[in-house]
């Protein structure tokens, strides 16, 4: 064994994305090599431009001390969402290339089979683990502690470590564009196909370690959020006074605590099979891949509700806030959320009705699946009644929410159809299924997260997002979604299977062309979001909302400056009912200075998150490429850092009372010179974040 082999493992120049194209320049190799090389270049160029800009504006120190090592839940939440947007851009571009392939693949197309498989694997893996999960974790991180009147989450350093693990996983998926290949096994990575016997390359290993890093991070996030909600509520914030977004955050956290371990076990056992020759899921020596399928969906189905519940929470806040009314049916919404969370553990088998269990078992799981429709239906009615006779404003978040309420019901109907095992036998693994779950996850999760982004952005940065560009982008997403996925229902019923490179029946082609147009419209929506951000930053003076309450908010997070101070609240608010901020505004007591201020103890910055991020990434990279020295060294570095962290005693700092008072009085002074705006003018420049009192008639 040469020294080169020991140092670099199985890494060599042949793993570069343009190697095959240069050495075997067939037409297909050149097309696929060009696409892969462009993507690889985009990753490097993106990193280089970011680094250059940071250097140009001399922000490295700020980046390190105020962001990367910060343990404040607010910067951590924002960084999660930044990761989500970067990954969303990549996965959306991939979706467009796949749609391009499908529109023109009557008897061929331009992608190679291997390349196409990588596309749908990375698209799914990214959208679930590195777009939706970071996005919702970021939103909860930012909003939930403020909604319950807390200064931070229960375990701030662990929060930073969770972020580090997610970032390391995302970096691993990105680096796979430049070095080697990603998995071709789909986002669910079913063995035996993903076993070493059929897939000896690095692709599946990239997938295993990226997903494992992110699932560890999510498990820790779940613990952190749940303990925060249980233990850190401000005085008087009883459970039945929690804002609904916090309720959904709690249910999602509980799901994370119980549902991430099955994924860790599934990918861990698959890794043991691949690396150490175990026989869990192999074809021989007693292995049984059905165990993997069960383990994976024991995670996978609750995961669906991890993704959707926070979006339900956002919609609840959006409908209530932008109708100027308290939430209709609060108790039923809480019960429905909890019911969905519990039922989510009882339906995993519907992901493989066709894989061999008897009809009675299928029937039980089919009925359990249909049951979930009931609490979900309750929610939809509650949201509609919330708008009824409210002061409804068609702002961007409400437009997303309205589109959701219609499209999601359609998607739910197709879910009820699929829940019937005998129907599922006909349409499983077809484009009908693709249409169904995108119908749930795009209007459900993605629109919800984007609505939340628009609603809480002004709180985080002190200025609103540009309304017209936001509306453009929202309409693109909505129209694009309908065009991209409704044709797939038809194509699926006509028998077009999922994950298929090409077809030979011209009847599918018109549907696929419409779907491509839809994908392009969605891409325009993404471009709209980017333009909106740039325009909003440029016009931040005119969009500024320093008083902190641009939408006449109802819960505690609006009861502080925008952006909020590090400690969120100068004095912890005492809560006496639901919608505490609205109560205070109506009583005229919202903007009074408290009688006395106290010193506030806040956690100090810590580099632990970055250490785990960097060495976690290196350990995973070493595992992928068999660079064992790197694995050992990185693991030891993480263990040493954890032991060393136990020896740090100086972990907190005090913000003196006079400093808190100075900040608070400055905010109150801003409020006192701010002109209150009515709801009719809230998207006009006049809105500086102070709501005029108006009743909802």
Alpha-carbon distance of 108 to 101, in angstroms, equals: 9
Among residues 227 and 416, whose Cβ is nearest to another protein? 227
Closest approach of another protein to the CB of residue 170, in Å: 23
Closest CB to another protein among 287 and 329? 287
Answer yes or no whether residue 649 interacts with another protein by CB under 8 A: yes
Q: How many residues bind another protein (CB under 8 A)?
A: 40
Residue 650 lies near another protein (rule: CB under 8 A): no
What is the per-residue burial (b if ≥16 Cβ within 10 Å, else e) of 35-65?
bbbebbeebeeeeeeeeeeeeeeeeeeeeee
| From 68-76, 450-458, 479-487, 645-653, span contacting another protein (CB under 8 A) | 645-653
Print the SS3 string covering 70-130. CCCHHHHHHHHHHHHHHHHHHHHHHHHHHHHHHHCCECCCCCCHHHHHHHHHHHHHHHHHH
The reply to whether 223 sits near another protein by the rule CB under 8 A is yes
CA 77 from centre of chain: 11
Q: Report d(CA 13, CA 565) in Å as an integer.
A: 50
Among the listed ranges 383-391, 404-412, 547-555, 640-648, the one in contact with another protein (CB under 8 A) is 640-648
* 8 Å CB contact between 488 and 434: yes
Query: Using the rule CB under 8 A, is 265 a contact of another protein?
Result: yes
Residue 168 contacts residue 129 (beta carbons within 8 Å): no
253-270 as b/e: b if 16+ CB within 10 A: bbbbbbbbbbbbbbbbbb
Please state, in angstroms and as integers, the Cα–Cα distance from residue 293 to each residue in 108, 265, 268, 289, 685, following that order. Answer: 32, 12, 14, 7, 54
| Residue 262 binds to another protein (criterion: CB under 8 A) | yes
- Sole binder of another protein in the list 176, 221, 224, 316 (CB under 8 A): 224
- Cβ 635 to another protein shortest distance, Å: 12
Cβ-count burial of 106 within 10 angstroms (0-12 exposed, 13-18 middle, 19+ buried)? middle
Q: Which of residues 231-260 bind another protein (CB under 8 A)?
A: 231-232, 257-258, 260
Closer residue to another protein (CB): 302 or 689: 302
- Shortest Å, Cβ 362 to another protein: 20
Tell the smallest beta-carbon distance from residue 613 to another protein (Å).
21
Kindly state whether residue 606 participates in binding another protein, applying the rule CB under 8 A.
no
Distance CA 501, CA 115 (A): 10
Specify the residue, 218 or 439, whose C-beta has the smaller distance to another protein. 218
* 261 is an interface residue for another protein by CB under 8 A: yes
Burial (CB < 10 A; 0-12, 13-18, 19+), residue 72, is buried
Q: Binding of another protein at residue 341 (CB under 8 A)? A: no
Instruction: State the minimum distance, in angstroms, from the CB of residue 469 to another protein.
Output: 42
Nearest to residue 261, comparing CAs of 210, 204, 220?
Answer: 220
C-alpha separations of 618 from 211, 407, 621, 624, 626 in Å: 15, 42, 5, 10, 12
How near is the Cβ of 258 to another protein at its closest, in Å?
Answer: 6
Please give the DSSP secondary-structure letter assigned to residue 641: H
Among 171-179, 269-277, 340-348, 435-443, which window interacts with another protein (CB under 8 A)?
Answer: 269-277
Which of positions 506-535 make contact with another protein (CB under 8 A)?
none
**Site for another protein, residues 271 to 310, rule: CB under 8 A:** 272-273, 276-280, 284-288, 291, 295, 298
Sign of CA dihedral 225, 231, 235, 236: positive
CB of 265 to another protein, least distance (A): 5
Is 226 one of the binding residues for another protein (CB under 8 A)?
Answer: yes
From 356, 506, 588, 646, residue interacting with another protein (rule: CB under 8 A)? 646
96 touching another protein, by CB under 8 A: no
222, 324, 444, 616: residue in contact with another protein (rule CB under 8 A): 222
Interaction pattern, residues 120-159, with another protein; x per rule: CB under 8 A: ----------------------------------xx----
Q: How far apart are CA 51 and CA 326, in angstroms?
A: 46
Question: What sign does the dihedral 482-132-540-455 (CA atoms) show?
Answer: positive
CB of 261 to another protein, least distance (A): 4
Q: What is the dihedral of CA 445, 36, 433, 403, to 10 degrees?
A: 30
Nearer to another protein, 74 or 233 (CB): 233
Q: Is 587 in the site for another protein (CB under 8 A)?
A: no
Under the binding rule (CB under 8 A), the answer on residue 264 touching another protein is yes
Q: Give helix 330-343 / helix 359-387 axis angle, nearest 10°.
A: 160
Q: How far is the CB of 657 from another protein (least distance, A)?
A: 19
Residues that bind another protein (CB under 8 A): 154-155, 219, 222-224, 226-227, 230-232, 257-258, 260-262, 264-265, 268-269, 272-273, 276-280, 284-288, 291, 295, 298, 639, 643, 646-647, 649
């Amino acid at each position: 064994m040469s020294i080169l082999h020991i140092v670099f493992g199985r890494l060599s120049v042949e793993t570069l994305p343009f190697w095959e194209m240069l050495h075997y320049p067939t037409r297909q190799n050149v097309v696929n090599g060009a696409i892969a090389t462009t993507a690889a270049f985009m990753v490097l160029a993106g990193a280089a431009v970011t680094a250059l800009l940071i250097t140009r504006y001399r922000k490295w120190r700020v980046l390190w001390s105020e962001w990367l090592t910060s343990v404040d839940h607010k910067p951590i939440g924002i960084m999660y969402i930044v990761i989500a947007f970067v990954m969303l851009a990549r996965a959306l571009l991939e979706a467009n290339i796949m749609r391009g392939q499908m529109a023109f693949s009557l008897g061929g197309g331009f992608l190679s089979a291997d390349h196409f498989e990588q596309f749908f694997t990375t698209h799914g893996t990214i959208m679930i683990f590195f777009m939706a999960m970071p996005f919702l974790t970021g939103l909860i991180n930012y909003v939930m502690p403020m909604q319950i009147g807390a200064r931070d989450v229960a375990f701030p350093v662990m929060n930073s470590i969770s972020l580090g693990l997610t970032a390391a996983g995302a970096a691993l998926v990105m680096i796979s564009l430049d070095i080697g290949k990603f998995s071709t096994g789909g986002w669910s990575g079913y063995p035996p196909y993903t076993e070493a016997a059929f897939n000896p390359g690095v692709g599946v290993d990239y997938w295993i370690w990226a997903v494992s890093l992110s699932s560890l991070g999510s498990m820790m996030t779940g613990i952190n959020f749940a303990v925060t909600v249980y233990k850190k509520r401000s005085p008087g914030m009883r459970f039945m006074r929690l804002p609904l977004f916090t309720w959904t955050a709690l249910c999602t956290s509980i799901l994370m605590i119980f549902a991430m371990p099955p994924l860790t076990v599934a990918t861990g056992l698959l890794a043991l099979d691949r690396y150490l020759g175990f026989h869990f899921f192999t074809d021989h020596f007693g292995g049984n891949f059905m165990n993997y399928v069960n383990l994976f969906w024991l995670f996978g189905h609750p995961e669906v509700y991890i993704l959707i519940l926070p979006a339900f929470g956002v919609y609840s806040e959006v409908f209530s806030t932008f109708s100027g009314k308290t939430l209709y049916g609060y108790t039923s919404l809480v019960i429905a959320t909890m019911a969905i969370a519990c039922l989510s553990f009882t339906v995993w088998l519907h992901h493989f009705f066709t894989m061999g269990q008897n009809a009675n078992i299928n029937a039980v799981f089919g009925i359990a699946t249909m049951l979930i429709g009931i609490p979900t239906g309750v929610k939809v009615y509650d949201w509609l009644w919330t708008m009824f006779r409210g002061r409804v404003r068609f702002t961007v978040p409400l437009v997303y929410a309205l589109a959701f309420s219609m499209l999601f019901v359609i998607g739910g109907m197709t879910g009820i159809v699929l829940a019937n095992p005998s129907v599922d036998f006909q349409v499983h693994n077809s484009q009908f299924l693709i249409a169904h779950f995108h119908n749930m996850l795009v209007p459900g999760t993605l629109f919800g997260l984007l609505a939340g982004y628009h609603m809480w952005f002004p709180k985080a940065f002190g200025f609103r997002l540009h309304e017209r560009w936001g509306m453009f982008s929202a309409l693109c997403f909505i129209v694009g979604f309908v065009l991209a996925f409704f044709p797939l229902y038809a194509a699926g019923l006509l028998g077009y299977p999922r994950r298929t490179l090409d077809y030979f029946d011209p009847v599918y082609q018109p549907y696929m062309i419409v779907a491509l147009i839809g994908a392009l419209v969605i891409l325009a929506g993404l471009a709209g979001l980017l333009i909106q951000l740039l325009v909003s930053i440029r016009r931040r003076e005119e969009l500024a909302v320093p008083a902190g309450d641009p939408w006449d908010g109802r819960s505690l997070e609006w009861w502080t400056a925008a952006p909020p101070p590090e400690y969120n609240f100068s004095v912890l608010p005492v809560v006496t009912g639901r919608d505490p901020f609205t109560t205070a505004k109506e009583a005229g007591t919202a903007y009074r200075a408290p009688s006395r201020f106290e010193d506030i103890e806040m956690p100090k910055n810590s580099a632990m998150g970055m250490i785990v991020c960097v060495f976690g990434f290196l350990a995973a990279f070493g595992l992928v490429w068999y660079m064992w020295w790197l694995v050992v060294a990185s693991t030891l570095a993480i263990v040493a850092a954890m032991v060393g962290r136990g020896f740090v005693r100086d972990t907190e700092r005090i913000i003196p009372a006079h400093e808190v008072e100075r900040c608070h009085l400055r905010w109150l002074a801003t409020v006192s010179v701010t002109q209150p705006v009515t709801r009719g003018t809230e998207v006009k420049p006049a809105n500086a974040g102070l709501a005029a009192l108006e009743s909802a008639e």
